[in-house]
Amino acid sequence: MEYTNYLLEQLSLLTSFNGDPIQRVASHFMEGLAARMMKSWPGLYKALSCPHLPSSSELVSCRQLFFLLCPYLKFAFTLVNHSILEAMEREKVVHIIDLGASEAIQWITMLQMLSTRAGGPPHLRITIINDRKEVLEKIGQELSEKAESLDIPFQFHPVVAKLEDVRIEMLRVKTGEAVAVSAVLRLHCLLMNEDFEGGSGNNISATMQNSAGAMLGDLQERERSLREFFEKEGSVVRHVYRQDSASDATGVVAQGPLSGFSKADGLLRMLRGISPKVMVIMEGEASMNGGGFMDRFVEALHYYGAIFDSLEGSLPGKFASERLTLERHMFGRAIGNIVSCEGSERVERQERLPRWIKRLQLAGFVQAPLSYASLIQVKRILASYTVTEGYKLVESNGCLTVCWQDTPLFSASAWQA
């Protein structure tokens, strides 16, 4: 523990929440490592971590900032809305199920799109799952008011529950409804499987020293640019990504077995039971579910390093305060969970697109084409973030991946029963 403490002390001299991208992302990893070490003293850990927990309103505001200032949620919402609009072209009664919205903006846009539909709008019912009742009440009020102003027959069905606790009867799907499902950055939190969860967190001192020492060495070589850092240190990660994305001649993804049956798999099978005409999912393009702690640490460092670099590149200096809020409450919390937690406490468990494809196929879904109109619109959204060699859109096997330079960050795909 003494040597670990020494390494963290050295790291603190090189990191800064107000520095360049690698300094800022390293600050959050340093906090995660310190929290991991403090868990040896549960009382001290709880006392120091409680004051840092953001309120529900702070989390909602942070997600709104994420939507307004970054292209990632715009990318997802555009794909979801256009895919639903095309799938429901001739439907008279439409039921949209959102697995965890915390704001109304996506569905306000959908209402506007439906109001101009040829033949008139359908009767629309929107179900949103969220464990915060006050958030659902606010969304319901905003959507009801907007639907009334557009003269769209509308019902709002709030489900106050955690996603893992939802049962099929809670969705109240009715005969004759055409169902659509939106799953944006929700499913990865349900990937833990207790039967396959290893004891990688047992030797805390050894993992702490290895992780802190590796990060310290990287930070001490400050003469390298961030891009050079990722080119040199991230080559193995990108090689793994290419191997994980490999397909055989039939287009079926070739990869290893999944890590058992998770709550995400159970939820997908339940959703298959309501026969959605379309379901669009978006998840982070990283491998942080299985494997040992060091593999997860390195993967997360490169993934969030690219995200922090994208924030630096796409948000001008006048948005420094907003960027700091995003990094602290959204990405910083995720980093802390990945680095400091194990077992059921660790909910940030991203998997890459090929593994999601396999899970969806095993649940009984078949891939559906993404909307051509959404592809055009997404390209326009990314082009509006005028950053040299910045955001890129990769289309492969009917799926879309938004990248920062050459690093895949988020992938989206459409499915049907």
pLDDT in tens, 294-350: 889 999 999 999 999 998 887 777 778 888 888 888 899 999 999 999 888 999 999
CA 88 to chain centre: 26
CB neighbour list of residue 404: distance below 8 Å, 6 or more residues apart: 306, 307, 309, 310, 313, 390, 391, 392
At 31 the pLDDT is 87
In 70-178, alpha helices (H): 71-87, 105-115, 133-149
Q: Is 192 left (phi over 0), alpha (psi -120 to 50) or beta?
A: beta
At 39 the pLDDT is 78
The residue type of 18 is: N
Quote the pTM value: 0.83
For residues 301 and 335, give the distance between their C-alpha atoms in angstroms, rounded to a whole number: 9
At 330 the pLDDT is 86
CB neighbour list of residue 146: distance below 8 Å, 6 or more residues apart: 104, 108, 111, 112
At 239 the pLDDT is 35
Q: pLDDT under 70 in the chain at which residues?
A: 1-4, 44-56, 194-260, 386-389
Q: 179 φ, ψ to 5°?
A: -100, 140
For residues 377 and 239, give the distance between their C-alpha atoms in angstroms, rounded to a whole number: 31
Q: Which of 159, 302, 318 is nearest to 241 (CA)?
A: 302
Per-residue CA distances from 34 to 39, 122, 301, 312 (Å): 9, 53, 16, 25
- DSSP 8-state code for residue 194: G
For residues 8 and 391, give the distance between their C-alpha atoms in angstroms, rounded to a whole number: 33
Q: 391 φ, ψ to 5°?
A: -75, 140
